[in-house]
Structure 1
């Protein structure tokens, strides 16, 4: 019986990830003996060209993952928009489980799935991106005996995800994207030493089950023993429960958030509220100006003065708010 090898590679990327993924697949050999699953943040309604780009970037065939497709060595499977990419033994499954950190597909969902089904046969790769999606999943892979590989933050276009991953785990390899392929090729060819892999924890199994089954389970976080966080879910406005001490949260529908992603989502919500306030101020200033003109035309001087004050106050407040909003730098979004 042949010795087991690391035959499942899962890679996650976000902003700046196309360049990193192209560099990775470019250096994988044509006889690469492991399956590669790629999850990149995509907008739900988008049409992704990522599989075509990766197919042209290196010798391995790359394809959009199809539900139930067998996992084959030397093939790159790319998560489609609005579906979590998971493994189920020797096949690929796609689900519409709850979003994680505001994303579906989510890197954590793919990584946790591989940690549960492949355990020590898994190599997790974190590439360029903002915030920290993938860190919790990479930690699950390491805890199950798998390996962690991280793009050097200095080499990444956006260092947030690599830096968060390195804060979460002790990665065996931290390399520029151009060196990842050769390193992965060595890792997947080395026979695994016989060892008892730690079994999946109850928490890991629950998190993976939520991604697989979604809200068909009813309340996705069963247990009043989980402490309430005092925060609300940006996706559904439900109460968030604290899943663990590392700052991971889920609502009862199943939406998952890390503390960093939750902060970013609330920042977006805050900015949206401010833009709404700015629009209201602009409209109020315009309406007050019109009423001021009508009052002047009818010689209603008291009303004219009142509307003039309102128009000036709203215009001044709007200008201050506009300058503040324009000074904010939006987070980059991944494409393709």
Structure 2
């Protein structure tokens, strides 16, 4: 059988609510599609890739498969990223790697979109569907910068609107469409002659894609992409660089973890909350130890009174911290000061 190389790549990212949206979308695509369709659906590491491929195959006339490393891309075929693996593309073939997480996901939408932009430029259509948080936004911006087109599901109909809204708020999206119209739109786009790119693919996109292919980069390479900032990588504890290019504020460490500003904010909030719960537990334990000490036989009245004063002070701190945690970390501690 002669391999039919795709004219276009359609790269699709989805998260929460994604499988339902994906089955509706791919059911509209013809078997004669002159494009390869590559999908990242956020999955638990223990998910069954073959089961999900089977679900997609029942809905579409495209040939569906779980992506494998080194596999050639074919028109009229659909490839799903395996659980706990990034799906990347090079010139005409796929790479499946267990590289560092991006936006806390593996597979990550941004990783697929960026590699498609790096190697296929204007012949890429990026699609962001339903999902939570921000994955896909930076990658869609890179597709646009490389000359490709950006399509986003109408957030008003998305089961979870965060991913479409993030893309719309940060990227010059070409088309916003409901799922019922998206299949016809994509079919029309990939039957057009790929538009000539305004120039070559930006070098920062190529470099970042190359770092992801090798799984781990180095400080010299990341320094070419941005400037160091006084933030710590939530994934490995290393230093972060803020990347210079594109419309989306992003950060990357030299081991390969990458974050949008929104994801980094969410991670810092979670880390702060965990730290404060630990502090609350330690205060409670110290309060109980002081109470035990004050009740020991032979403890002088002065010492006992001193311990009870410390217990009362700790109890006040514990109550303030507990209220702060229960009412949200966005509320300043100053607002919990007792009235005088």
TM-score by length of 2: 0.83
Cα shift at 1:211: 0.8
Cα shift at 1:206: 0.8
Q: Relative to 1, partners in 2 of residues 1:299 and 1:219: Cα closer, same or farther, differing over 3 Å?
A: closer
Give per-residue Cα distances to partners, 1:178-232, cap 9 Å, x unaligned: 3322321222233335x356211111111101110122x5436354794322222
Query: What is the alpha-carbon root mean square deviation over aligned residues?
Result: 2.8
Superposed structure 1 runs of 4+ greater than 6 Å apart: none
Q: Relative to 1, partners in 2 of residues 1:211 and 1:298: Cα closer, same or farther, differing over 3 Å?
A: same
- C-alpha contact 1:128 1:158 (8 A) present in aligned 2: yes
Cα shift at 1:166: 1.7
Cα shift at 1:30: 4.1
Task: Give yes or no for the alignment of 1:51 onto 2:50.
Answer: no
Q: State how far apart, in whole Å, the 2-side matches of 1:279 and 1:190 are.
A: 62
Q: State how far apart, in whole Å, the 1-side matches of 2:268 and 2:241 are.
A: 16
**1:239-254 equivalence runs, <5 A:** 239-244=239-244, 246=247, 247-254=249-256
Q: Relative to 1, partners in 2 of residues 1:281 and 1:178: Cα closer, same or farther, differing over 3 Å?
A: farther
Where does residue 40 of structure 1 map in the other structure? 41
Determine which of 72, 75, 87 is the counterpart of 2:74. Answer: 72
Where does residue 277 of structure 2 map in the other structure? 275
Q: State how far apart, in whole Å, the 2-side matches of 1:327 and 1:51 are.
A: 43
SS in 2 for 1:227: strand
5+ residue gaps, structure 1: 330-336
Where does residue 15 of structure 1 map in the other structure? 16
**1:1-336 equivalence runs, <5 A:** 6-43=7-44, 45-49=45-49, 50-192=52-194, 195=196, 198-215=199-216, 217-219=217-219, 221-223=221-223, 226-244=226-244, 246=247, 247-292=249-294, 294-295=295-296, 298=298, 300-328=300-328
Where does residue 332 of structure 2 map in the other structure? none
Q: State how far apart, in whole Å, the 2-side matches of 1:39 and 1:52 are.
A: 15
Q: Relative to 1, partners in 2 of residues 1:196 and 1:255: Cα closer, same or farther, differing over 3 Å?
A: closer
- C-alpha contact 1:10 1:36 (8 A) present in aligned 2: yes
- C-alpha contact 2:223 2:241 (8 A) present in aligned 1: no
Q: How many residues align?
A: 321
Q: Relative to 1, partners in 2 of residues 1:64 and 1:258: Cα closer, same or farther, differing over 3 Å?
A: same
Structure with more relative contact order (C-alpha pairs < 8 Å, separation 6 or more)? 1
- C-alpha contact 1:120 1:197 (8 A) present in aligned 2: no
Cα shift at 1:105: 1.8
Q: State how far apart, in whole Å, the 2-side matches of 1:327 and 1:75 are.
A: 50
Per mean C-alpha deviation after superposition, the further-off stretch among 316-325 and 157-166 is 316-325
Q: Relative to 1, partners in 2 of residues 1:23 and 1:189: Cα closer, same or farther, differing over 3 Å?
A: same
- C-alpha contact 1:229 1:241 (8 A) present in aligned 2: yes
TM-score by length of 1: 0.84
Q: State how far apart, in whole Å, the 2-side matches of 1:316 and 1:61 are.
A: 64
5+ residue gaps, structure 2: 330-340
SS in 2 for 1:110: helix
